Structures are given as structure tokens and as C-alpha cells.
């Protein structure tokens, strides 16, 4: 996702600068305005301004690092330590050097008079808008320690949920890479040696062997070009995926794959319910909560559907009625939100839905793994088996002719 450098003002004070990730410039400006800032300058970072991106990627801040920092901050804050002193302590304790620099910047901003929420908002690529809104609500209500613990619980649940979803693809991808690598080595380096033997005998070869020979001849000469072409195609696909049309196309394609679409929808539904429930339980207004929740959705098409909830509620519809207008939310979820609206406990209901969908994600991961593993093994076995048989057929024919 592109990164935009900005200069903003908030009231009559001095201007603030920083960087924010957004799909485009318009989205970056809109997000800054939602934070309460008046944008003065918003410019996309150019490639020459991000020459150290590889080094930064190697030192990237993982969700685990962020969760550990927040847990330590909650512990120190609960013990009665001033927030500036707690941040100064965490600068020295944080093992990730990139996160340590960010914490030091946050400490410096707080020491100059900024609230913790305002200091965190300068680093929205690390601390999502949801976290900043919760911290602001905690500071306003005088319950920052309690809010920090709730953020910790949310972050750890999010990490666990994401781990379950990612684990569904690790083994299938590993099998695909190993199988593809084995096929590449066979047709590029191993089988071409057999071709010279067959050519010396000038025997008529079976059709499968002729096909494999043609492929081996091509790969034996141009394997490096094929390898570069595959790498180039992967790079181009990644660059296209990072564009707005590319992201939309890939996300729409993912929602059409059987079994995979089920996992994606359940994962996003769990994230939606937990985020919305946590925000509402901490006193964040409904409209603001819906807008922040929409930004947390990973799939573009699902994010747009969640954004429609904000539009519907703004126009006077109830949340459950707006949910029922599309196919994304199951009838049970709509009914539970309707009950939550009637009882005034939408936050509690949303968290219960999130817990239920956490279990659904776990089951979907296991089902997906159980489906993909044997399927990949069968496909790789058929391909490799065809190659081996194609090489063995002429050898059996030649041996029978020699025996005769």
C-alpha cells in the first residue's frame, strides 16, 4: 500500500509531520481529517525516498512486537508509573530497534504536551486508528490502564486469529514449492541426459516421451529464461496487487474460490465483530466505530460492504436493518445484532459473535488443510509419475529389442 508524507495542523498550534499508509491520496486526506487534523500537504513517497525499504522490511515491526509493547505499557501504567517515565523505560527494554525509535518519538511527543492518543496517531502504520480511538476514550474517561489491557487482549486475539488463517496456507504452499522445484530439476537437468541415449539408438519413441523430450530440450537450453520469467511475473503480480484495481480484482477472485472464500468471510466476520464490540464497549460512538471497523477489513470488497453500514446508520436505519440488506451477514448475526440494539448491549453481542466465529475460523482452517494437502499430493504425483513413465517406456522397449 502506498505511503504518504503529510503536514497537518490541529488548532492554532504548530504543524505536525509524519507518514501514513492509504490506498490513494484522497483516502489519506480523508483519514487525516477523521483524526481531527487539517491537512496542509499530503504527498506520496517516491521510490528514491524509500531506498531503505528492504532494510526496514528486515527490521519490520511484527504484531507480536506491538502486542508485547502494549502489554508492558499497561503493566507499568497500572503500577502507577507516569506515562512519560513508562515510555522512557520501554525505549530501553524494546528489543526491536525500529519499534524502539517509534516509542522514543511517542515519548518525546507526550513530554512536549501531546496526549498519548495524538502521539500514537502519528504512527498509524503501527498503531491502527482503532487503538488510537480507544486510548483517547480511555484518557478522556480516566481509565487508560483498563483500556490498555483491553487493547492487549484484542491484539493477542487478533494475532491468534491471523495465525490460524495463515497456517492454512503454509503447508500447501510448501508442498507446491517442493513439487515445482522437483519437476523443474527433473526436466532441466536430469531427463536431458536420457535424451542423448535415446537419440543414439534412433528408435521410434512413444508420444509421451516425445512430448517430454521437447520440453526437456527447451528447458535444458532456456531454463534460466524460464526462471527469470517466473520471477518477473511474480514481481509484476505483487506490484499489480498493491494497486487499487489489482487489489480489488485479487480480493474478488479470492472470494470466488470454494473453501477459501468461506475461510476469508469467517475471518473477516470475526475481525469485524471483535473490533466493533471492543470500540463500543469503550465508549466510542457508533458511527466512528463503524468507520474504524471498516478500515480494519483486509478484503476490499468486504470493507466496502462494512462501509455501507456506516452510510445506512447515518441515514437513520438501524444497524441490523442495514446488515440484512446484503449477503455478507448471515441471518443469525443480523438477529443477534437486532437483539443487542433492543437491549442496548451491542458491544457484548458483537464480542460473543466474534468468539463464535473464532471457532468457525479454526474449523475452516482444518477443513481447508484437509482438502488441499491430498489434492496437491495427487496433482504432483500425477505430473511426476507422467514424467517418469515417459522416460521409462523407451528404456523398456530398447531393452526388449536388445534381448531379442
Q: What is the DSSP string of 65-76?
A: HHHHHHHHHHHH
Residue holding cell 486526506? 29
Domain ranges of the chain: 1-58, 167-404
Average pLDDT over residues 344-358: 86
Query: What CATH architecture is 167-404?
Result: Up-down Bundle (1.20)
Cell of 249: 480484482
On the question of pLDDT at 270 being above 80, the answer is yes
pLDDT in tens, 46-59: 544 444 444 444 45
From CA 200, how far away is CA 231, in angstroms rounded? 36
- The whole-number pLDDT of residue 58 equals 40
- The whole-number pLDDT of residue 26 equals 79
On the question of pLDDT at 351 being above 50, the answer is yes
Cell of 324: 440484512
Q: Distance between terminal CA atoms of the chain?
A: 69
At residue 375 the predicted structure's pLDDT band, cuts being 50, 70 and 90, is: confident
Q: What is the DSSP string of 239-276?
A: HHHTSHHHHHHHHHHHTTSTTHHHHHHHHHHHHHHHHH
Q: What is the DSSP string of 132-182?
A: HHHHHHHHHHT-HHHHHHHHHHHHHHHHHHHHHHHHHHHHHHHHHHHHHHH
pLDDT in tens, 78-97: 888 888 888 888 888 888 88
From CA 99, how far away is CA 97, in angstroms rounded? 5
Amino acid at each position: 500500500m502506498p505511503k504518504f508524507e503529510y503536514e497537518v495542523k490541529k488548532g492554532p498550534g504548530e504543524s505536525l509531520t509524519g507518514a501514513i499508509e492509504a490506498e490513494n491520496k484522497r483516502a489519506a486526506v480523508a483519514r487525516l481529517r477523521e483524526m481531527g487534523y487539517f491537512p496542509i500537504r499530503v504527498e506520496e513517497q517516491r521510490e528514491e525516498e524509500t531506498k531503505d525499504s528492504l532494510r526496514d522490511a528486515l527490521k519490520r515491526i511484527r504484531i507480536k512486537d506491538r502486542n508485547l509493547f502494549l502489554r508492558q505499557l499497561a503493566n507499568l501504567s497500572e503500577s502507577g508509573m507516569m506515562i512519560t517515565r513508562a515510555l522512557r523505560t520501554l525505549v530501553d527494554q524494546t528489543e526491536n530497534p525500529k519499534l524502539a525509535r517509534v516509542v522514543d518519538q511517542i515519548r518525546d511527543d507526550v513530554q512536549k504536551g501531546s496526549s498519548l492518543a495524538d502521539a500514537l496517531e502519528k504512527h498509524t502504520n503501527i498503531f491502527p486508528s482503532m487503538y488510537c480511538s480507544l486510548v483517547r476514550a480511555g484518557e478522556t474517561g480516566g481509565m487508560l490502564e483498563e483500556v490498555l489491557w483491553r487493547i492487549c487482549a484484542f491484539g493477542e486475539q487478533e494475532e491468534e486469529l491471523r495465525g490460524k488463517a495463515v497456517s492454512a496456507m503454509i503447508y500447501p504452499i510448501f508442498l507446491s514449492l517442493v513439487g515445482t522445484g522437483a519437476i523443474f530439476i527433473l526436466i532441466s537437468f536430469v531427463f536431458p541426459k536420457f535424451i542423448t541415449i535415446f537419440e543414439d539408438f534412433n528408435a521410434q519413441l512413444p508420444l509421451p516421451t516425445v512430448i517430454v523430450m521437447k520440453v526437456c530440450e527447451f528447458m535444458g537450453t532456456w531454463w534460466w529464461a524460464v526462471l527469470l520469467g517466473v520471477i518477473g511475473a511474480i514481481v509484476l503480480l505483487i506490484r499489480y496487487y498493491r494497486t487499487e484495481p489489482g487489489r480489488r480484482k485479487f480480493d474478488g477472485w479470492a472470494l470466488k474460490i470454494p473453501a477459501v472464500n468461506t475461510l476469508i468471510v469467517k475471518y473477516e466476520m470475526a475481525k469485524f465483530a471483535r473490533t466493533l464490540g471492543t470500540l463500543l464497549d469503550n465508549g466510542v460512538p457508533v458511527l466512528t466505530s463503524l468507520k474504524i471497523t471498516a478500515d480494519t477489513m483486509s478484503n476490499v470488497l468486504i470493507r466496502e460492504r462494512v462501509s455501507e453500514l456506516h452510510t445506512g446508520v447515518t441515514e437513520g436505519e438501524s444497524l441490523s436493518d442495514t446488515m440484512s440488506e446484503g449477503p455478507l451477514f448471515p441471518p443469525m448475526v443480523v438477529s443477534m445484532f437486532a437483539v443487542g440494539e433492543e437491549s442496548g448491549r451491542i458491544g457484548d453481542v458483537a464480542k460473543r459473535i466474534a468468539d463464535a466465529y473464532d471457532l468457525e475460523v479454526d474449523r475452516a482452517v482444518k477443513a481447508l488443510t484437509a482438502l488441499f494437502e491430498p489434492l496437491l499430493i495427487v496433482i504432483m504425483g500425477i505430473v511426476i509419475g507422467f514424467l517418469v513413465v515417459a522416460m521409462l517406456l523407451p528404456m523398456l522397449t530398447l531393452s526388449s529389442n536388445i534381448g531379442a
